[in-house]
Chain A
Amino acid sequence: MTHASFFAGRELIDEEFKTLPDEHIATRPAIHFDGGQPRCNRCNNTTNFASHPCARCGNICTYCRNCIEMGKISSCTTLYTWIGPPPEHHENAGTLHWTGTLSAGQKTASSNVERAICHSSEHLVWAVAGAGKTEVLFQGIASALFAGKRVCIAAPRSDVVRELAPRLTTVFPDTPPAVLYGGSPDRNTYSPLVIATTHQLYRFYHAFDVLIVDEVDAYPYTFDRSLQFAVQKARKPESALIYLTATPHAEWQSEVKKGKREATLIPARYHRHPLPVPKTEWCGNWKKTNVPKNVLLWVKTKVEEGQRLLIFYSHIDTMEKALPLFKEIDLRIESVHAADPLRKEKVAAMRRQEIPVLLSTTILERGVTFPGIDVAVIGAEDAVFTESALVQLAGRAGRSADYPTGEILFFHYGKTDAMMKAIRQINEMNRLGIERGLIDR
């Protein structure tokens, strides 16, 4: 591996490389002091620091606690970047190996993305769940790679990164992507195409001509300012920034409507059926009952009909209390949450149709698709079920062309604004889909 391909676009600390090139390297201190106030140059943290007498430099050193998992940064740490010529691309970089066809909605988005990439501008792709947003990127990425540009797709969660990787390897076999997440084997691999968790962007500096941020609405990106900082740090000053989302937050929605934000909306699914619209049903105080009577009845009827279900709970404890009550209907019913050690196995079993009903916290709200399921949310008025979370949950139903309908029920103990806005958003998408001829009736 050459120095150029090892260092290009990255900003590293001493512990992250073996030898330092004699030339083409720029440095800066890892912690910046502004009137005595520390700021981490890697993660932009300004609040979470500690200090101690440092055996390396002999001073009292301040260190960043926010990004310490990526290797400790102290006030005596130096950051190194490559300022030499970038590595050469493969001669077939940008050759697209894909024979699928785009829907009419995807086509518009694809050419808008390509234009934004060409002009190094910003663009938002607002595509409903099931619209096929990844395919929308192919053409733009191809022309960027062909032009010798470096492209990164960043997603907030490593599952999404791992899921995207094989798809992009298939369509760009001449430039297989470097896939980066905590503990990934590709850590030091150079590729003009990178797929990374947003967290991994901290290690890059002015690296990308095209930065695509998937699931911009998703936790933790929306909540973590330092991650937004990482996006800005990783892209070149002159670069394209593409955002993908199924449900932009309110501020962006209104910017799009007012024409203040460049965006393409794909209001309909690839299979050209309308999005199933959630219904609401009062279920009393579910925190007391864990499984309200009408919920139990609904589940029982569905299970007897052989209908598979995905049921969302806001909190693990309520869900765990509810599970034994559901198991009385069918012992194969399972629950899953973020820290569940059997999470992957349970999701796979659900996919193989071995589990009739899966209870879940909101971890399964995006990404995961099971064909032919109905969806219920218990306690839909809970604060964790924001408008965007509810739209995402609803987006799990009716995904396959063979079973495009699906029922969605918001069981609640008092309707909320978020619930009504989510339903309104879904209806609005269907209306636009019909109006634009993207839905068959």
Chain B
Amino acid sequence: MKLCLLCENETEIESWLPFFGAKAPRLCPKCLEKLVKITGPSCRLCSRPMEESGICSDCEGWGESVFVSNQSLYVYNEAMQSIIARFKYRGDYVLASIFADDVRRMTLAAACDLICAVPLPPTRLAERRFNQSEALIEAAGLAHVSLISRSESDKQSKKSRMERVNATQTFYPIGDAAGKSVLVIDDIYTTGATIRLVAKALMEAGASSVKSITIARSGS
């Protein structure tokens, strides 16, 4: 018997499934059904849901870069907001395991040479005790390389969209990614500003291309 990581009710699994090596889900059906996968037409670059597939107006505005594309798993709805708040701000590390299978599957599909986490500024990291991006990668049983680091900066989540779009670079290269394709894994994709700054620093580290995977896609 397994308890749901969110509501502590029992999770259910068809009794014959364990024979075939299936693991009990980390969430009960009730909590699971609140998570909505992003399906249907979306932006080829950032996976924002759209009327028909193509490139969204935001992405058009960004212009050329080594950043190839972002893939997001779930809609950032109320249930997802509360999971991410509990995971990242309350510090409930184990919630990363909810997405382990998803992250592993998408990482394989992305077929990149290296995986890189999004670093936190040092004081923020000490405050939170762990880096949510690293937690997602570790929970999926994957290895990541330290290619970039981050200097102190203002709190990203309190900034307005405008400020974020014009955010200044705080990431800098510390490793060698010469000629490699790099996959970045993080919790939320909002405006794409962060991932583009990360991509820029990775390019300075020599990366040939950068893709990203995020658990949730916020923003309309």
Interface residues of A (CB under 8 A from B): 48, 50-56, 61, 63, 65, 68-69, 72, 74
The residues in B between 79 and 122 inclusive whose CB is less than 8 angstroms from any CB of A are: 86, 90-94
Measured CB to CB, the closest approach of chain A to B87, in angstroms, equals: 11
Select which of B86, B128, B129, B131 is within 8 A of A61 by beta carbon: B129
Minimum CB–CB distance from B4 to chain A (whole Å) comes to: 12
For residue B74, CB closer than 8 A to chain A, the reply is no
Q: Is the CB of A54 within 8 A of B94?
A: no
Contact indicator per residue, chain B 167-182, by CB within 8 Å of chain A (1) or not (0): 0000000000000000
28 contacts between A and B (CB under 8 A): A48-B8, A50-B92, A50-B93, A51-B93, A52-B93, A52-B94, A52-B129, A52-B130, A52-B135, A53-B130, A54-B129, A54-B130, A55-B126, A55-B129, A55-B130, A61-B129, A63-B91, A63-B93, A65-B92, A65-B94, A68-B90, A68-B91, A68-B92, A69-B90, A72-B90, A72-B91, A72-B92, A74-B129
Q: When the two chains form their complex, are residues A56 and B126 in contact, meaning their CB atoms are under 8 A apart?
A: yes
Q: Does B143 contact A (CB under 8 A)?
A: no
The answer to whether B129 and A50 touch across the interface, beta carbons within 8 angstroms, is no
Nearest Cβ distance between residue B211 and chain A, in whole angstroms? 26
- Report chain B residues within 8 Å CB of A56: 126, 129
The 5 closest A-B pairs by CB, nearest first: A50-B94, A52-B93, A72-B91, A55-B125, A54-B129
Bound form: Cα–Cα A74–B131 in Å? 16
- Pick the residue among A50, A55, A69 that contacts B128 (CB under 8 A): A55
> Most chain-A Cβ atoms within 10 A of its Cβ — which of B86, B129, B131?
B129
Contacts A63-B91, A68-B90, A72-B92 supplied; 18 other A-B pairs, CB < 8 Å: A50-B92, A52-B93, A52-B94, A52-B129, A54-B129, A55-B126, A55-B129, A55-B131, A56-B126, A56-B129, A61-B129, A65-B94, A68-B91, A68-B92, A69-B90, A72-B90, A72-B91, A74-B129
Q: Could you say which residues of chain B place their CB within 8 Å of the CB of A68?
A: 86, 90-92
Most A CB within 10 A of own CB, among B86, B93, B125, B126? B93
Q: In the complex, what residues of A have CB within 8 A of residue B8's CB?
A: 48
Question: Which residues of the partner chain B approach A69 to less than 8 Å between Cβ atoms?
Answer: 90
- CB-CB < 8 A to A52: which residues of B? 93-94, 129-130, 135
B7 to chain A, nearest CB (A): 12
A55 to B123, CA, bound (A): 10
Q: Give the A-binding residues of B (Cβ under 8 A).
A: 8, 86, 90-94, 125-126, 128-131, 135
The smallest C-beta distance from A337 to any residue of chain B, in angstroms, reads 15
Chain A positions within 8 Å of B128 at CB level:
55
Cα separation A63 to B93 with both chains bound (whole Å):
9
A72 cross-chain contacts in B, Cβ below 8 A: 90-92, 129
Bound-state CA distance A48–B92 (Å) is: 11
With a cutoff of 8 Å between Cβ atoms, the chain B residues found around residue A51 in the complex are: 93
Query: How many Å lie between the Cα of A68 and that of B91 in the bound state?
Result: 8
Chain B residues positioned under 8 Å from A74 (CB to CB): 129
Contacts of B129 in A (CB 8 A): 52, 54-56, 61, 72, 74
| Bound-complex Cα distance A56 to B126 (A) | 5
Q: Which residues on the A side are within 8 Å of B93 (C-beta)?
A: 50-52, 63
Which residues of A are found within 8 Å of B130, using beta-carbon distances?
Answer: 52-55
Among residues of A, the one whose C-beta sits closest to the C-beta of B96 is A52
Closest residue on chain A to residue B134 by CB atoms: A53
Smallest beta-carbon distance A365→chain B, Å: 23
Find the A residue at minimum CB distance from B124.
Answer: A55
Q: Which residue of B lies closest to A54 (CB)?
A: B129
Closest CB in chain B relative to A61 CB, distance in Å: 7
A36 to chain B minimum Cβ distance, whole angstroms, is: 19
- B91 contacts across to A, CB distance below 8 A: 63, 68, 72
- Closest CB in chain A relative to B92 CB, distance in Å: 6
Residues in chain A near residue B135, CB distance under 8 A: 52
Name the residue of chain B whose CB is nearest to the CB of A61. Answer: B129
CA distance A316 to B94 in the complex (A): 31
Closest beta carbon of chain A to B100's beta carbon, Å: 14
Counting chain A CB atoms within 10 Å of each CB, the highest count among B91, B94, B126 belongs to: B91
Q: In the complex, what residue of chain B is closest to A66 when comparing beta carbons? A: B8
Q: Point out which of B128, B130, B131 has the most chain A C-beta atoms below 10 A from its C-beta.
A: B130
CA distance A69 to B89 in the complex (A): 10
A53-B93 Cα distance, complex, nearest whole Å: 10
Q: Which residue of A lies closest to B90 (CB)?
A: A68
- How far, in Å, is A54 (CB) from chain B's closest CB? 5
Residue of B86, B90, B125 with highest tally of chain A CB at under 10 A: B90
* A48 to B2 alpha-carbon distance, docked (Å): 12
Chain A: minimal CB distance from B8 (Å): 8
Alpha-carbon separation in the docked complex, A63 to B129 (Å): 11
A50 vs B126: C-alpha distance in the bound complex, in angstroms?
18
Q: How far is the CA of A53 from the CA of B86 in the complex (A)?
A: 18
Which residues of chain A are near B126, meaning CB under 8 Å? 55-56
Distance (whole angstroms) from the CB of A262 to the closest CB of chain B: 36
Using Cβ atoms and an 8 Å threshold, which residues of chain B touch A48?
8
Q: In the bound complex, what is the Cα–Cα distance between A51 and B92 (angstroms)?
A: 9
Residue on B with the closest CB to A51? B93
Q: Give the shortest distance, in Å, between A46 (CB) and chain B (any CB).
A: 15
Nearest A residue (CB) for B3: A48
A-side contacts of B125, CB under 8 Å: 55
Which B residues lie within 8 Å of A54 (CB)? 129-130
Which residues of chain B are within 8 angstroms of A65 by Cβ–Cβ distance?
92, 94
Give the shortest distance, in Å, between A40 (CB) and chain B (any CB). 14
**Residues of A close to B92: CB separation below 8 A:** 50, 65, 68, 72
Q: Which residues from chain A contact B131 at a C-beta distance below 8 Å?
A: 55
The CA-CA distance from A74 to B93 in the complex, in Å, is: 11
